[in-house]
């Protein structure tokens, strides 16, 4: 089973990343188990976690929401999901993984962070192929929904 | 700069994964630097690498080629990019990362492998956001092209 305690550090890191980078405060919804890959989006940041604990985390936005967040970050509108917007999504993914790592490592779940990959494509889906389940957390912001999806297998024996 | 020696273990592992799993022998093309994210596809396996060395590798297929490879693997046609096909792409990504890890670790590039993420979406693109460049290798199979994309930063001081 997915230990639900694993998800909280990812939620906290997501809120913090968006607050620090874009001065926005999304409203988090309830986590649910991903039994089919339903969270479609237009741009995602995906980042692998590997060590004694392993996993993967993805954050997925619609094109319009990604552009809104980018505009809040830099004070400039983006016309498309250009390199600047993609870089911004990569930074957000990095901050989420880094923030979660800081908390989880204090509980004995040691891992390192791979480099982020940015997926762009209308209505794409992402599915993590770990041996355990995947949790999805919806967030509301500016009248839209974005998601994080986390698959995480903690270090054996860690608290 | 990307050390081109890093790419060969990924190429060899790709050829081996497809030979072992689907008894097919793709023809590899020449690696090139990814200066814009041009390799569009319909299904990708993405897998993070993290440790003293860090990186990310993705393999991207068209829907028709993914189904053809799946049919070779299991002797059964797939009607869509269903869970079985997605699992197969995840296994291929795992084998590529695992094969490359075996070779690279012999040269002092130590890392662990995150869990694979499967992206599904018509004509999506994937871009790795490492500090170094990304190499793309095209392969020809059954009259179609698929790609691997590798961003890899070796362990400092390793050979």
pTM of the prediction?
Answer: 0.94
Of residues B49, B129, B130, nearest to A50 (C-beta) = B49
Structure tokens at A108: 């004995």
Contacts of A136 (CB under 8 A, 6+ apart): A31, A32, A33, A34, A38, A39, A147, A148, A149
In a 10 Å sphere around its CB, with 0-12 CB exposed, 13-18 middle and 19+ buried, how is residue A42 labelled? Answer: buried
Q: Shortest CA distance to B119 belongs to which of A44, A93, A149, A81?
A: A44
Q: Does B14 contact chain A (CB < 8 Å)?
A: no
Q: Which neighbouring-strand residues pair with A60?
A: A44, A147
**Phi/psi zone of residue B93: left (φ > 0), alpha (ψ -120 to 50 degrees), beta?**
alpha
Which residues of chain A make contact with B113, given a CB cutoff of 8 A?
48, 50, 54
Q: Does A154 contact chain B (CB < 8 Å)?
A: no
Give ipTM to 2 decimals.
Answer: 0.93
Q: What is the DSSP-derived secondary structure letter of residue A114?
A: -
A112-151 residues touching B, CB cutoff 8 A: 112-131, 151
The one-digit pLDDT tens for each residue of chain A (159 residues) are: 567 789 999 999 999 999 999 999 999 999 988 886 577 999 999 999 999 999 999 999 999 999 999 999 999 999 999 999 999 999 999 999 999 999 999 999 999 999 999 999 999 999 999 888 899 999 999 999 999 999 999 988 775
Cβ contact B39:B147 at 8 Å? yes
How near does any CA of chain B get to the CA of A117, in Å?
Answer: 4
């Amino acid at each position: 089973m997915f230990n639900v305690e694993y998800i909280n550090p990812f939620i906290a890191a997501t809120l913090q990343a968006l607050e620090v980078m874009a001065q926005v405060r999304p409203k988090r919804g309830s986590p649910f188990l991903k039994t089919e890959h339903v969270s479609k989006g237009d741009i995602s940041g995906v980042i692998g976690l590997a060590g004694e604990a392993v996993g993967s985390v993805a954050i997925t936005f619609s094109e319009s929401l990604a552009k809104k967040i980018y505009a809040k970050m830099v004070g400039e509108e983006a016309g498309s999901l250009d390199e600047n917007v993609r870089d911004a999504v990569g930074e957000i993914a990095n901050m989420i993984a880094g923030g979660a790592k800081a908390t989880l490592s204090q509980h004995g779940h040691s891992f390192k962070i791979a480099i982020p990959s940015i997926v762009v494509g209308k209505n794409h889906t992402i599915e993590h192929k770990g041996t355990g389940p995947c949790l999805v957390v919806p967030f509301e912001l500016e009248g839209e929904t974005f998601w994080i999806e986390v698959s995480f297998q903690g270090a054996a024996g860690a608290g």
